[in-house]
Structure 1
């Protein structure tokens, strides 16, 4: 059986040869006739023959974001470095203030002790805070107040607050004589310890006229975690100067007795039951430089994180679409 050229071409390619354009088309004859009858010539039917034709495949694909770039979390992330920077700047100001304050107090400590005047204006105490002063009078041990608990060298104890009655001057002030261990809370225990020790002639409960040297201090400020004092029970958890002065009938003037700072002196005082006074030095913590480094470091780290989040493309195919100029 012999095949004609057209039949052979159709059998070889699986298509039909168009009688008008003389090209093999993989379309049935009816569809070819329909296309030619609608006025479509070979150039319009085969767009690849047009030299000006540009395919979508020839256009480079561009990744673009769909919808919003980032959610509300980006705003929160942007607030972190700004807040940290503001806190760091505030700590710089606090550092400058604390350095000036310590320098002012240290300058006052270098001056000779000033005799305490007979009448004291409590509102002017702030101008003489950490000023070395001396006061003469008699201790009212019957009105002694113990403030505690207070820790010293990992041992529990109390601050001994005793009113000092200034003879001939008509005023009474409060004197923080220092710290005693809990086992010497009772006055009789201190007197017994003094009798058993021969290291010092100083008495734990001095009688008669004494001269006290110490630092004039401003009233203390209570924090929110300290319980309220109960004077009627003899329980003082916080040295509230005004409350203690009202209870003892004295002026709201507070003096912290000082002593020579040495281990042997402290040991001898504790053994004899004598309160351990504070050293004549400024005890103000100054950690603001650490806070400055911490806050500025946090601001820098979060700023880098913010930049990485903004520059990083959105993950997942849902956040991208392919875009072409000739789509």
Structure 2
């Protein structure tokens, strides 16, 4: 019996396959039951290397002493937004300075026109050179002739005291040897657009004396549509176009009248054009523009200084490691 047990034990010892037992828990945690022999050998070699050597012996290993971390501040680098913010105060300051020059120019221009208004009316010569009209802009003049109501043109729409209407432009045919000119007689309401709807005196014939302001040609802005003379629609006074259409000289007179509220109501009811006042109506808003541009320059300068001089608090600081790590 004892000999049989010894035989069995020897048989079991010789036939059993010894299992590979890793010597560290690192291999046990990283290995899998179906891992190949080559991977096991590679891990054993790595384990023996790290057990026999220090980390500093490896040339690929980087030390925190050799490559220390850098303390940086977030928001230190500014993008193109800061460049734009830096340009705004410069540009706005330049625009404010330019508006100062414009204010001086506009003030002198208004003073020159008002000086012309106080002079007595000047009779128009028989023939007028249109090229010299800008030198007599806002000059009071008188002309005698007959209105050609059959060639009347309505420019509009034009607003007056909240009501929609038109400017009545009628050629004034002067005496023999004298040129025909264009006269802006004034404003009428839309309901008096047709001549048959107007009262007595609105389209009266006979010789009349017109007193008004000699004005240079108007300038069309980009928002105004083009005139349609074939349809009788004029959105702005194109003096050259109107003169060619009526056989007149390109001379524009704006008829004036003493502003009286009662007379204005009577004229509006009868469809008689209401003339303008003999005054300079140029807008002079350059003082507001100066305040606006200089205020914008000051405000954006303060914003720029606050952004550049801003100190970060502890919440905005961080540690950024070297890129070689």
What TM-score range do you get, normalising by the shorter chain? 0.7 to 0.9
Q: Are 1:183 and 2:173 matched, yes or no?
A: no
User: 1:319 Cα deviation (Å)?
Assistant: 5.4
TM-score by length of 1: 0.73
Distance 2:118 2:179 in 1: 27
SS across alignment from 1:171: coil
Question: 1:270: Cα distance to partner?
Answer: 1.1
Alpha-carbon distance, 1:71 to partner: 2.6
Residues 78 and 99 from structure 1, CA distance in 2 versus in 1: closer, same or farther, beyond 3 angstroms?
same
Task: Verify: 1:99 aligned to 2:107, yes or no.
Answer: yes
Matched, 1:230 2:228: yes
Distance 2:221 2:84 in 1: 32
Whole-Å separation in 2 of the counterparts to 1:128 and 1:186: 34
Cα deviation for residue 170 of structure 1 reads 3.1
Please say if 1:278 is aligned against 2:276: yes
Is 1:295 aligned with 2:293? yes
Which of 155, 174, 177 is the matching residue for 2:163?
155
1:167 deviates by 1.0
- Whether 1:171 and 2:179 are equivalent positions in the alignment is yes
Question: Is it true that 1:312 corresponds to 2:320 in the alignment?
Answer: no
The whole-number CA distance in structure 1 between the counterparts of 2:231 and 2:171 is 18
The alignment partner of 1:100 has SS state of helix
Counting only pairs closer than 5 Å after superposition, residues 60-79 of structure 1 correspond to structure 2 as 65=73, 69-79=77-87
Contact kept in structure 2, 1:66 and 1:321, CA below 8 Å: no
**Which one of 129, 133, 157 corresponds to residue 125 of structure 1?**
133
Tell me if the contact between 2:73 and 2:316 (Cα under 8 Å) persists in the aligned partners.
Answer: no
| Distance of 1:69 and 1:77 partners within structure 2 | 15
CA distance in 2, matches of 1:106, 1:86: 30
Distance 1:319 1:141 in 2: 83
Show the counterpart of 1:210: 208
Query: Cα offset for 1:317?
Result: 6.0
RMSD between aligned residues: 2.0
The offset of 1:272, in angstroms, is: 2.2
> CA 1:268 to 1:81, structure 2 compared with 1: closer, same or farther past 3 Å?
same
Q: 1:310 to 1:320 in 2, by over 3 A?
A: farther
Aligned residues: 251
1:261-312 per-position Cα deviation (integer Å, ceiling 9, x unaligned):
1211211211222100000001111111001001100100110111111100
CA distance in 2, matches of 1:262, 1:104: 27
Structure 1 residue 182: deviation in Å?
0.7
CA–CA distance in structure 2, aligned partners of residues 123 and 91 of structure 1: 30
Identify the residue that residue 219 of structure 2 maps to in structure 1.
221
Deviation by residue 1:168-205 (Cα, 9 ceiling, x = unmatched): 23310000000000111111111xx33xxxxxxxx111
Secondary structure at 1:156 match in 2? strand
* CA shift digits 1:30-84 (9 cap, x unpaired): xxxxxxxxxxxxxxxxxxxxxxxxxxxxxxxx97658954332211110010011
What is the TM-score of this pair, normalised by structure 2?
0.73
SS of corresponding position for 1:132: strand
Q: Are residues 235 and 66 of structure 1, via their aligned partners in 2, closer, same or farther at CA, if it must alter by over 3 Å?
A: closer
Q: Structure 1 248/315 Cα, relative in aligned 2: closer, same or farther at 3 Å?
A: farther
**Do the aligned residues in 2 keep the contact of 1:131 with 1:216 (CA within 8 Å)?**
yes
The superposition leaves residues 72-130 of structure 1 with CA deviations (integer Å, 9 ceiling, x where unpaired) of 22111100100110111111111111111111111000000000011111010000000
Counterpart of 2:120 (choices 112, 115, 122) is: 112
For residues 289 and 116 of structure 1, do their structure 2 counterparts lie closer, same or farther at Cα, with a shift above 3 Å needed?
same
In 1, Cα distance between the equivalents of 2:90 and 2:176?
A: 62
C-alpha distance in structure 1 between counterparts of 2:313 and 2:152, whole Å: 72
Partner of residue 254, structure 1: 252
